[in-house]
Chains A and B, each alone.
Chain A
Amino acid sequence: MSLSNLIQNWNSFRTRRPYEGQYEDAPYKWAMVIDLDSCIGCNACTVACYAENNLPVVGKERFGKGQAMHWIRIERYWGADEAKATEFPERGAEYLPMLCQQCEAAPCEPVCPVGATHHSPDGLNTQVYNRCVGSRYCSANCPYKVRYFNWWNYPDRAWPNPLELQLNPDVTVRSKGVMEKCTFCMQRLRAGMDKAKTEGRILADGEVLTACAQACPTSAITFGNWADKKSKVARMWKNQQVDLAKNSQEKSEEGIRGYRILEDLNTYPSVVYLERLRNLEA
């Protein structure tokens, strides 16, 4: 992508998303639901992501500088108000798997000076490594802090021989100076979509999973094709009364758990979380 091309086609990069009926005719729109009442905080998803996506281990010093490369992480909160009110976290901890929310109106996208981060037709917020010039503006603009910058040339050091033999050949190993992030395991999606296309069909529900969803011992993560209204993920969104194109959700009754994180920033995330439950009578 040249700069002139970028300027000429600026409008295609600045499409206002989401809009009504955006995915009506699209074969795919990838989305996720994470049930916080099922998530046990075990880190199976995070390790699975390291294994699938060639994430480098950065070591203690760099981790301490905030240079960890975990595309999905488990955030652990104590529930600020509760912890202050009582001495102990008597309702347990709050575990939050945080990964790129694949926002429809992603704050990272318009600020990229070279169009390295852009929206794909199947609703993913993608990062094109060989366009990225490392301005890091996208990361600064991301409210979820799920973009990770390669401060070092990890291929030189992160996989001492023979650890590099484990690297997934379907996933680029990123070099110094580029930004990276969760892709919803795009390599799996790509392979699956190509296979389905060859066979003249669209992917069946559950045929392709992200590495995190596949590993999750409690099946807290549901992943699928939101454009397919019969998919589990689409039915869950509907059941939880979350509208992709709205920035606040009206619920028909109390007790419907679906919500999107920092939705009022108009990011229109593709990840719905289901509220954590606690039996307060216990």
Chain B
Amino acid sequence: MTMSNLDRRDFLKVLGISGAAATLAGCGHTSIESGVEEVMSYVNPQDFVVPGIGVFYASTCAQCGSGCGIMGKVREGRVLKLEGNPESGISGGKICGLGQAGVQAHYNPDRLRTPMYQGEGGLTPVSWERAHQILEQRLGPNSPLKGEQIAFLTGGVSGHQRVLLENFLETFDSTHHVAYDALSTATGRAASKAILGAEQPLWNIHKARLIVSFGNDFLGNGVSPVYMARQYALFRKAPRGTLIQIEPRMTLTGGNADRWYPIKPGTEGILALGIAHDLLQHEEFSKGVPQEVLDLVKNYDRDAVSDITGIGSDAVRLIAAQLWNNSPSLVIAGPSVEGHSYGFSNAAAVQLLNVILGNRGTTMEGQSEHPFPQLTPVLGNYQALVDLNQKMASGQTQALLIYGTNPVFTAPSHLPFAESMSKVPFKVAFVTHMDETAGHCDLILPLLSALEDFGSHVAEYQPEGVEVMLQQPLMEKLYPESKGYGDILLSVLKKRKPEAYAGFPDYYSYLKTAMVKAKPVFKVSDSDDHFWEDALRNGLVKWDGKPTSLESRLPALTMPKPAELATDYPFYFVPSIRPDMRDGRHAYLPWLQESPETMTTVVWDSWVEMHPKMAEAMQIKEGDILQIQSATGSVRAKAYLFPGIQPDTVSMPLGQGHTQLGRFATGVGVNPYKILDPIFDAHTGELAMHATRVAVRKTGEYQKIVKDEGPTTFQGGQKLVATLPADQAKLSKEI
């Protein structure tokens, strides 16, 4: 048999005992599509496929970019539950709540089931035949589009999905891949690159004796939360490391801190320089530090820093003393540091501490070299969206393809993305669900869910060498009219460049060929088929890489003094990122809507967090509906009194307020992206997400907050949660 005369199903059968094949062979006999269970005919079942017994198949979680290896429990042709895959160095057999909810993304009742076309009669379902016709008309071999006339807008994308996308653009002589991430960390990365020589170094959390985190929620929604949580667990074993968290609004990670400091938003860099000031008093640290850094730091004595940051001068001394006493340490910065007009300097000042403390080579290392640079993730940022918006508005963009991002929802209101889109003659969305952005497209293509499709993923954070993660279908597709992203792209590519792509009947064969071709790099001597089957069975292929060394620098920095709060807008506004909702793309998952946000325990809603003392002064009570007004716009939401917040700050969670994302998300809460002011980081041009200032007004209305919170940690006089001073615990004697 040759590849070309096989359809995809046949091809899977050729794989025999390997994972995907068995799954699909098994479920071919069920009546999944109609939702009716039938007695199955297991005429020729695989030996290990027994009705009533679940079988696990490896795949990769696509809920975020961390690239966790997962296993899906499959029974009678249905995927029932996801677990972590122990083979994966990233997940290590563990899985987060967001990952678990991947099954609800797959079985979601609001999935798009047929292609839709925006014709004269409005949005109507069309056949795939018609959809392909339209695609060919616009993007086929006769398309006159060239270069930047076509744009491919995505979220973060890696692996062969990225390769195929770039190959697709190449046939238009274009490199116009626009990657946008509403929660971009581009500013922080740029600062890290400037100081430490790497955008994202490896953090050896478990080796640190002290972690000082400036607003980095690494346990909740950083670069690889499950991996970080696993490392954190080791960090807390004997000898137990200490975590200090400094941030305007307590994150999940902040809740785990030994000491939590509320800081005025945007003054983190100044506090870091204050700590540096103390450290550089000691010759051990000041040795080799360039004069311009010493000059910069000398203005920041404890009292000056305390005035600006709101952190007491004793606390500055204490933090410095602990960094001095607990080596190796690890200092990290997060979104609340970088989200300012001087976010780059702010984050750079924090990273400066790592250099002064000599954490390079111990708790911070460079990531391993990458054997396949073309598979590495393209990470999104905000600037890319601004450029695209400009091109669309000026009429330059003639065709726009959108995959894995929803800018109409996440772009702030000063970026009129939907309006600019209307100037583009042809817009295609690749989605599993109709969302706000797809609603503005001409052709909307229903994708297979992540549990139905093939793919490869390469995570940005590679803790152990490099893992190329494989995603495989855990069951037959639910909707016959849905297609894989790779399959759709390939079908167009085959028309545009038949000589190169005609040999691939589908994305699966493309992926397999690509992986097998890469076999020599993995130093595997197996046959091609064995290599591929092993890769699918394990869910990944590992490449032995070693951490690299970091080239740190101490460039001259300028640190502006943050402007005082003005009377028109007397509050700092902190948009918080929920570990489960992220930028809002997961709001359609009912388990996550009903999962209480840990810090507040609120469900199914948006809310405004305010410090109880400030609320008391303003006579605000929980449930009072507040209007939060920025220079750009306003939203209304219920007050929630929250002690873990700097008193001049109000905070709202991102992710809710959808107008179009299915029944579980639409109409739930409000969308704070829309009130963010047009303030940008001076160095990177990224949107400064934490720089907006707001006024808070009572509307006089009230609605009860729906939450899980109980009254107190005491019940019948007994304390439910007991806390022991760490030095009294006998961790080394524990099991």
Question: Hey, which bits of chain A sit against chain B, CB under 8 A?
Answer: 36-38, 40-44, 46-48, 50-52, 57-61, 63-64, 68, 70, 73-80, 83, 87-96, 143, 160-169, 211, 214-220, 232, 235-236, 239-240, 253-257, 259, 261-262, 264-265, 273, 275-282
Q: Are A88 and B103 in contact (CB under 8 A)?
A: no
With contacts A163-B104, A169-B76 taken as known, whether A261 is within 8 angstroms of B723 at the C-beta atoms is no
The answer to whether A163 touches B109, judged by C-beta atoms less than 8 angstroms apart, is yes
Which 6 A-B pairs have CB atoms at the shortest separation, nearest pair first? A93-B255, A47-B97, A217-B229, A77-B713, A60-B604, A218-B233
Q: How far is the CB of A255 from chain B (nearest CB, A)?
A: 4
Verify if B489 is at the interface (C-beta below 8 Å from A): no
Cα of A20 to Cα of B725 in the assembled complex, Å: 34
Cα–Cα, bound, A65→B514 (Å): 54
State how many angstroms separate the Cβ of A155 from the closest Cβ of chain B: 14
How far does the alpha carbon of A90 sit from the alpha carbon of B320 in the complex, in Å?
Answer: 18
Q: Does B170 have its Cβ within 8 Å of any Cβ on chain A?
A: no
Contacting pair B250 A89 (CB below 8 A)? yes
B107: chain A residues at CB < 8 Å are 162-163, 165-166
Complex contact A257–B713 (CB within 8 A): no
Contact, CB under 8 Å: B95 / A264:
no
Q: Which of B52, B79, B97 has the most CB of A within 10 A?
A: B97
Q: Counting CB contacts under 8 A, is B727 at the interface?
A: yes
For window 217-261 of B, CB contacts with A under 8 Å fall at: 219-220, 225-226, 229-230, 232-233, 236, 240, 242, 244-245, 250, 252-261
Contact of A93 among B76, B108, B599, B727 (CB under 8 A): B599
Alpha-carbon separation in the docked complex, A143 to B720 (Å): 12
Q: Give the complex CA separation of A64 and B623 in angstroms.
A: 13
Asked if B598 CB lies within 8 Å of chain A CBs, one says yes
Contact assessment for A42 and B96 in the assembled complex, using a CB-CB cutoff below 8 Å: yes
Please tell me if the beta carbons of A165 and B724 are within 8 angstroms of each other in the complex. no
Query: Bound complex: CA of A77 vs CA of B181, how far in Å?
Result: 34
Contacts of A277 in B (CB 8 A): 236, 240, 723-726, 729
| A43 surroundings in chain B (CB, below 8 A) | 97, 579-580, 595-596, 598
**CB-based contact A214/B83 at 8 Å:** yes
Closest residue of chain A to B255 (Cβ to Cβ) is A93
The answer to whether the Cβ of B299 comes within 8 Å of any Cβ in the partner chain is no
- Evaluate whether A279 and B96 lie within 8 angstroms (CB atoms) in the complex, with A88-B644, A215-B83 already known: no
Residues of B within 8 A of A278 (CB): 258, 723-726
Q: Which of A61, A83, A166 has the most CB of B within 10 A?
A: A166
Q: Which of B233, B709, B726, B733 contacts A220 (CB 8 A)?
A: B233
Q: Is B715 an interface residue (CB 8 A)?
A: yes
- How long is the Cα–Cα vector from A240 to B101 in the complex, in angstroms? 35
Number of interface residues of B (CB under 8 A): 103
Structural contact, B108 and A163, CB atoms closer than 8 A = yes
Q: B26 at the A/B interface (Cβ < 8 Å)? A: no
Chain B 571-587 interface mask (CB, 8 Å, partner A; 1/0): 00000000110000000
A79–B595 CB distance below 8 A: no
Provide the B70-97 mask, 1 if CB < 8 A to any CB of A, else 0.
0000011011111110000000011111
Decide yes or no: A219 and B233 within 8 Å by CB, A78-B713, A89-B643 being known contacts.
Answer: yes
Q: How many angstroms from the CA of A232 to the CA of B735 in the assembled complex? A: 8
Minimal beta-carbon separation of B727 from chain A (angstroms): 7
Closest to B319 in A: A282
Taking a contact as CB atoms under 8 Å apart, the answer to whether B244 and A282 are in contact is yes
Residues of A within 8 A of B668 (CB): 60
Q: Do B84 and A215 have beta carbons less than 8 Å apart? A: yes
Are A161 and B97 in contact (CB-based, < 8 A)?
no
Say yes or no: B97 contacts A91, CB within 8 Å. Answer: no
The answer, yes or no, to whether B712 is at the interface (CB within 8 Å) is yes
Contact B592 A51 (CB under 8 A): no
Please indicate the chain A residues that have their CB under 8 angstroms from the CB of B83 in the complex: 214-215
Also in contact, A239 and B219, with CB within 8 A (given A76-B709, A87-B643, A276-B721): no
Which residues in B have some Cβ–Cβ distance to A below 8 Å?
32, 35, 52, 75-76, 78-84, 93-101, 103-104, 106-109, 219-220, 225-226, 229-230, 232-233, 236, 240, 242, 244-245, 250, 252-262, 318, 322, 478, 579-580, 590-596, 598-601, 603-605, 611, 613, 643-644, 647, 663, 668, 704, 706, 708-710, 712-716, 718, 720-730, 733-735
A-B contact pairs, 20 of them (CB 8 A): A42-B220, A44-B100, A60-B603, A68-B594, A87-B613, A91-B258, A93-B255, A93-B644, A95-B721, A161-B35, A162-B478, A163-B108, A165-B107, A217-B95, A255-B729, A257-B729, A262-B718, A275-B723, A277-B236, A281-B727
Contacts A47-B592, A51-B591, A68-B594; is A42 near B225 (CB within 8 Å)? yes
CA distance A149 to B272 in the complex (A): 52
CB atoms of A94 and B713 under 8 A apart = yes
CA distance A47 to B79 in the complex (A): 16
CB-CB under 8 A from A63, the residues of chain B are: 594, 603-604, 706, 708
In the assembly, what is the distance between CA of A278 and CA of B643, in Å? Answer: 19
With known contacts A42-B219, A60-B605, A47–B591 Cβ distance under 8 A: yes
Given A44-B96, A64-B706, A68-B594, the answer on whether A165 and B35 have CB atoms closer than 8 Å is yes
With A92-B260, A96-B720, A275-B723 already in contact, the answer to whether A282 and B252 are too (CB < 8 A) is: no
Contacts A59-B594, A77-B713 known; 10 new A-B pairs at CB < 8 A: A36-B721, A37-B236, A47-B592, A48-B100, A50-B591, A63-B604, A87-B611, A87-B643, A143-B715, A273-B722
- Which residues does chain B contribute within 8 Å of A218, judged by CB atoms? 229-230, 232-233
List of B residues within 8 angstroms of A235 by Cβ: 735
Known: A48-B100, A163-B108. A217 touches B35 (CB 8 A): no
- Assuming A47-B100, A165-B78, is B95 touching A215 (CB within 8 A)? yes
Residues on A with C-beta less than 8 A from B715 are 143, 262
In the complex, how many angstroms separate the beta carbon of A57 from the nearest chain B beta carbon? 4
